[in-house]
Structure 1
Amino acid sequence: MLKIVTTIIRVLPIVFVTLCALLITSGAFGQKFGYINSDYVLSKMSEYQEAQSEIQQLATQWQEEIQGMQKEVDDMYSELKAEEVLLTAEMRRERMDAIQQQEETLKEYQQKVFGFEGLYYLKKQELIKPIQDQVFEAVEKVAEENKLQIVFDKSGDLVMIYTNPIHDYTDFVLDELGLGEQEDTIR
């Protein structure tokens, strides 16, 4: 009798841990997932196209300003080189100081515009973030309606070697955004 009790006491923790593991993992197998293609969704949104166009125009304008400032620096160097033999050491030093000041101004402007949290970044956030939020809300609603626990983005860095189209919820998100097409078939 003592031997049976000892065996039960020794085996009981193993049985308990195994039972707990089975209960915990059984929930994982019941999870439902899907994926969307956010690049495709965004390409269907006219607001996104307009925002991208505005951002590109600003970037081009800022790049042209930077190129103009760089041309000024290059011209200053050319003038210095052409007149170098006629300048005194003091005059040469003053011109070099002016060139270095202009280069510093150029670098500061580049940083202000295209640097970390520069004007380009801030403008992109201002224009794109509301659109991304709108897509996220639509994805969230589709996920809740279809009881999805996980939604992947096919267009992101996540590599999807194979995807069954039955799990593609891109059209649902487009419908939620009011961008669905008549020929789209609702599953």
Structure 2
Amino acid sequence: MKNLRYLLLALLLLMVASGVRAQKFGWVDSEYIMAKMPEYAKAQAELNAISETWQKEIEAQKKDLDKLYHNYQAEEVVLTEPMKKKRQDEILKKEQDIKAYQNKQFGYEGQLFKKRQELNKPVQDKVFEAVEKVAKKKQLAVVFDKASDLTMLYTNPAHDYTEFVLEELGLGAEDRNQPGPKGAVKTVAPPKTPVDPNFESDSGTPEPASGNKPAPKPTRSTKKSRK
């Protein structure tokens, strides 16, 4: 399974690398999208209710097992060997029945697994259809799923089309998750401090003026002071 996953990753990267100049690609977060869908929330609520019901049934069976075991311990001293064997077999069978029921309901590909697939499939199909529409509208050659087993070490927000899919489903917000602007980055030069060209300091070099008005030019008095 891991080898197949790595092969798929290598194939996708090769596809992107070979057509990176001519093709566009993007990614979405399917888990984030489904979490926004009322149908998905309804399916999860139904799954939780079913799971709780089955779990309560298992807990009730475990209580019956504990009761059988405690009764056996209390009466063991007065039981004959055939009676002990019979009671032990009952306890063992009860344990096996509980484990079998638990595996049937919660095990790999058990009833809960199948029910989850059944309830989630319509939601997933709806998401896939929306992704396909967005890919065609935006002319995307490849769309990755951030929530899949395919590990994405870095995702550029400029290629995030999650919100477009939500908009296609009628659940998006136009001011969120839009691809970033394209074009060269412009550098703005910092403003310079204004200098009054008519002002000379004692050293003979211009000095910056303070405030918005130019500094007044100092004058020397030509009159002598009276004694």
**Aligned-residue CA RMSD (Å):** 1.9
Q: Is 1:66–2:58 an aligned residue pair? A: yes
Question: Which of 121, 124, 130 lines up with 1:132 in the alignment?
Answer: 124
1:118-141 CA-to-partner distances (Å, cap 9, x unmatched) read 211121111111101110111111
1:138-166 CA-to-partner distances (Å, cap 9, x unmatched) read 11111121111211122333333332211
Which residue identity is paired with 1:166?
A
- Paired with 1:93 and 1:185, the residues of 2 have a C-alpha distance of 68
Of Structure 1 and Structure 2, the greater helix share is in: 1
- Paired with 2:74 and 2:174, the residues of 1 have a C-alpha distance of 69
Q: Secondary structure at the match of 1:180?
A: coil
- What stretches of structure 1 of length at least 5 have no aligned partner? 1-24
**Larger Rg belongs to:** 2
Q: Is 1:155–2:124 an aligned residue pair? A: no
- What stretches of structure 2 of length at least 5 have no aligned partner? 1-16, 180-227
Give the alignment of 1:139-178 within 5 angstroms.
139-178=131-170
Q: Which residue matches 1:116? A: 108
- Paired with 1:92 and 1:70, the residues of 2 have a C-alpha distance of 21
- Paired with 2:25 and 2:102, the residues of 1 have a C-alpha distance of 44
Does 54-63 or 148-157 show the bigger shift?
A: 148-157
Does 107-116 or 131-140 show the bigger shift?
A: 107-116
Does 69-78 or 128-137 show the bigger shift?
A: 69-78
Q: Which residue matches 1:100? A: 92
User: How many residues are aligned here?
Assistant: 163
Are 2:40 and 2:120, in contact at CA under 8 Å, matched by a contact in 1? yes
